[in-house]
Amino acid sequence: MSSSEAFPASGVPPRAGGTNVADRLFKGTTLLFALSVVAIMVLMAGAMLRTALPAIRAFGWHFPFTSTWDPVAERFGALPFIYGTLVSSLLALSIAVPLSLGGAIFLVELAPHWLAQPIAFLIDLLASIPSVVYGLWGIFVLAPWLRTTVQPALGALLGVLPLFQGPAYGVGMLAAGMILAIMVIPFISGVSREVLMAVPNSQREAALALGATKWEAIRTAVLPYSRSGIIGAIILGLGRALGETMAVTMVIGNRPEIALSLFAPGYTMASVIANEFAEATSDFHLAALIEIGLLLFGVTILVNGLARLLVWSVAGNGAATVRE
């Protein structure tokens, strides 16, 4: 049916170049659409740079290192937000990395299939729950629990450390770190699982045949083989954590101050944009917010680029063959 339709088109004589005109047109069109992805990225950087320009001009290098944020006086410094973003993300990673790696090792290396399958499914489900729902749960379940149970206990136990001092609000850096941890676990765990599964069985068997226990085979054969991929997975998780917005905005307390205690409220780059952008008081305020967005953009590009290179080098994909 379709071949009879197609037949006349094949009557087009091939050109001297050896390709059919229609074929070249088709290839050109698809190329155009593919390149629009590149165009979007360039445009994104350009458009943000242009709108942020007033702020960049006014504050220069001081912007990321100043801690005043005063829209009324039009004095802007991003330090508290950068600090909040970094601390909450690192806190999240320190919780999420051991859990997701341990979980991935269990699922890929140790668990029987019938158990690994449903658990992996549930972890993947975690990834599809929207950020705002995590935030809702954070406000009404996690934060109260932290306030009434966890923070008093931590304060009593480790109160000598400045990290665990001060009043228990519930909302704050600790809540943000925990919610972020829950949210990045599916990513780190998912990519790690892929990387572990990419380790050839012959490596495991080589170790087992030497009389290694299961754990020793993992330690001597599997983990070294997948090291760079796992580091990539962690960095990918970091990228997620840095840019995560809604859930953090809802539980971090939104106060642009730098406090050592994890109990204290904080603010992140993404949340200040979420909270102030729609109601920015002036173009200058907007420019400052966009500059924060630009910083966030730059950092995530770096982080993701790095992670991608690492994961590609192990798990391999379409692009890996091109790079050789």
Partner 1 sequence: MLTGLAVEKLGACFGQKQVLNGISMTIGPNLVTAIIGPSGCGKSTLIRCLNRLHETVPGARQSGRVLLDGQDISQMDPVQVRRTIGMVFQKPNPFPSMSIYDNVAAGLRLNGVRKRHRLDEYVEKSLRMGALWEEVADRLDKPGISLSGGQQQRLCIARAIAIEPKVLLMDEPCSALDPVSTGKIEELIQELKKALTIVIVTHNMQQAARVSDYTGFLLLGELIEFDETPKLFTNPRDKRTEDYITGRFG
Partner 2 sequence: MTFDRYRRRKRVNVLVSALAFLCAAITIIPLLMILGHLLAQGAKAVNLDFFTQLPKPVGEVGGGMANAIVGTLILIGLACLVGLPIGIIGGIYLAEFGNNKTGWLVRFMSDVLNGTPSIVIGIFAYTVVVLPMKRFSALAGGFALGIIMIPTVIRATEELVKLVPTSVREAGLALGIPQWRVILRIVVPSAKAGIVTGVLLAVARIGGETAPLLFTAFGNQFWQRRLDQPIASLPVQIFTYAISPFEDWHRQAWAGALVLVAMILITSVLTRVVTKGQDRSMR
CB of 260 to partner 2, least distance (A): 26
- Which of 211, 278, 322, 323 contacts partner 1 by CB under 8 A? 211
Could you tell me which of 239, 259, 278 has the C-alpha nearest to residue 79?
259
What amino acid occupies position 95? I
| 275 near partner 1, judged by CB under 8 A | no
The angle, 0 to 180 degrees and rounded to 10, between the axes of the packed helices 113-128 and 173-197 is: 130
Residues 127-186 that bind partner 2 (CB under 8 A): 128-137, 139-141, 182, 185
CB of 169 to partner 1, least distance (A): 47
How many Cα atoms within 13 Å fall on the side-chain side of residue 193? Answer: 22
CB of 314 to partner 2, least distance (A): 15
Write each residue from 214 to 253 as x if it is in contact with partner 1 (CB under 8 A), else as -, in one continuous string. Answer: --x---xx--xx-x--------------------------
CB of 71 to partner 2, least distance (A): 16
Q: Output Rg (C-alpha) for the chain, integer angstroms.
A: 25
Nearer to partner 1, 74 or 205 (CB): 205
For residue 171, the 8-state DSSP code is: S
Could you tell me which of 225, 215, 216, 221 has the C-alpha nearest to residue 195?
225
The span from the CA of 152 to the CA of 170, in Å, is 10
Contact between 265 and 252 under an 8 Å Cβ cutoff? The reply is yes
| 209 near partner 2, judged by CB under 8 A | no
Residue 203 touches which member of partner 2, partner 1, none, C-beta under 5-8 Å by kind: partner 1
Give residues in contact with partner 1 (CB under 8 A). Answer: 112-113, 200, 202-213, 216, 220-221, 224-225, 227
